[in-house]
Amino acid sequence: MEIIIKPKKKFSWREIAEIWDYRELLYFFTWRDIKIRYKQTAIGILWALFQPFITMVIFSIFFGNFAKMPSDGIPYPIFVFVGLLLWQFFSASLSGASNSLVGNQGIITKVYFPRLLMPISSTVTQFVDFFIASGMLVILMIYYGYLPNLAGLLILPLLLLITFLISVGGGMILAAINVKYRDVRYALPFFIQTLLFVTPVIYPSSILHKYSWILAANPMTGVIKAARSAILGGSPVNWTLLAISGAVGMAIFMVGIVVFRNTEKYFADIV
Residues engaged in binding other proteins (CB under 8 A): 1-8, 24-25, 28, 31-32, 35-36, 39-40, 106-113, 179-183, 265, 268-270
Residue number with CB closer to other proteins (113 or 191) = 113
| Nearer Cβ to other proteins (3/151) | 3
Distance of CA 177 to the CA centre of its chain: 18
| Least distance between other proteins and beta carbon 28 (Å) | 4
Angstrom distance (rounded) from CA 231 to CA 227 = 6
CB of 91 to other proteins, least distance (A): 22
Q: What angle do CA 131, 134, 140 make, to 5 degrees?
A: 160
In this structure, are residues 195 and 218 in contact, taking their beta carbons and an 8 Å threshold?
yes
**Least distance in angstroms from the C-beta of 184 to other proteins:** 9
Instruction: State which residue, 216 or 258, has the beta carbon closest to other proteins.
Output: 258
Choice between 19 and 156, CB closer to other proteins: 19
Q: How far is the CB of 270 from other proteins (least distance, A)?
A: 5
The nearer residue to other proteins, 175 or 202, going by C-beta atoms, is 175
Whether 150 contacts 232, CB under 8 Å: no
Q: How far is the CB of 31 from other proteins (least distance, A)?
A: 8
**Sign of the four-CA dihedral 216, 195, 204, 233:** positive
Distances, alpha carbon 241 to alpha carbons 38, 188, 231, 236, in Å: 37, 26, 17, 12
Q: Is 40 left (phi over 0), alpha (psi -120 to 50) or beta?
A: left
Cβ closer to other proteins: 112 or 190?
112
CA distance 174 to 252: 12
- Burial pattern 128-152, b for ≥16 Cβ within 10 A else e, equals bbbeebbebbeebbeeeebeebeeb
CB of 8 to other proteins, least distance (A): 4
